[in-house]
């Protein structure tokens, strides 16, 4: 979850600075009544796509972590064996075993680093997709509400709760079909259910 959060903050850092500056420049009551703010971090985690993505990432992390744990146990056993037998080993054998251990340790560290990069890349990919779709939804909300602008919550020092449109963003995002089966599929499933029910009635 921390990686997911960090990626959101990294992508939108410049946007946050820009919107904070705009909010300081435009402080009139008319402007204040005509803007809204959104908690993007909460929205990303609470939309259907975000929940599904988080579950997939956790599953991916668990699977890879299991493989890492197995390698780590193997390496620990090798280390314990070397420590017990080192006093009875010839110098050349001890040097060879030590080199093998260091090589395996390096492989484990590299595997861990690769896992971290893969998870970060996958999170970035998922997040960019969700934020891109949210941008379209926010645009529609902004145009319908005739807002002067919609800013991030973390770019504000304070704003009244009634200007928060996060819940509306989540509702509209999910309502647009993200994270849900398409209407075509649902219609097909309904038709198949009707056919099955008709067949069962005819048999009776």
pLDDT digits (tens, 9 = 90+) for 77-109: 888 888 888 888 888 888 888 898 899 899 889
pLDDT band at 178 (very low <50, low <70, confident <90, very high): low
Range of the domain at 155: 2-203
Instruction: Report how many domains make up the chain.
Output: 1
pLDDT of residue 9 exceeding 90, the answer is: no
CA atoms within 13 A of residue 49's CA, in its CB half-sphere: 23
> What CATH number does residue 113 fall under?
3.30.910.20
pTM, 2 dp: 0.61
Where would I find the beta strands (DSSP E) of 24-167? Answer: 35-38, 149-152
Quote the pLDDT of residue 51.
94
CA-nearest of 44, 29, 12 to 154 is: 12
pLDDT digits (tens, 9 = 90+) for 128-147: 999 999 999 999 999 999 99
Beta carbons of 124 and 12 less than 8 angstroms apart: no
């Amino acid at each position: 979850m921390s990686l997911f959060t960090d990626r959101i903050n990294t992508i939108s850092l410049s946007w946050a600075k820009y919107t904070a500056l705009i909010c300081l420049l435009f402080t009139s009551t008319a402007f204040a009544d005509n803007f809204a703010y959104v908690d993007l971090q909460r929205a990303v985690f609470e939309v259907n796509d975000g929940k599904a993505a988080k579950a997939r990432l956790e599953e991916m992390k668990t699977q890879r972590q299991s493989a890492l744990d197995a390698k780590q146990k193997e390496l620990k056993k090798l280390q314990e064996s070397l420590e017990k037998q080192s006093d009875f080993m010839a110098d050349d054998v001890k040097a060879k075993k030590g080199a093998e251990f260091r090589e395996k340790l390096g492989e484990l560290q590299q595997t861990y680093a690769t896992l971290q990069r893969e998870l970060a890349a996958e999170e970035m990919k998922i997040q960019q997709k969700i934020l891109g779709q949210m941008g379209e939804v926010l645009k529609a909300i902004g145009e319908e509400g005739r807002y002067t602008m919609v800013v991030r919550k973390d770019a504000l020092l304070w704003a009244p709760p009634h200007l928060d449109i996060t819940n509306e963003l989540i509702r509209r995002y999910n309502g647009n079909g993200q994270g849900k089966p398409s209407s075509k599929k649902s219609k097909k499933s309904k038709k198949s259910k009707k056919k099955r029910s008709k067949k069962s009635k005819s048999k009776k």
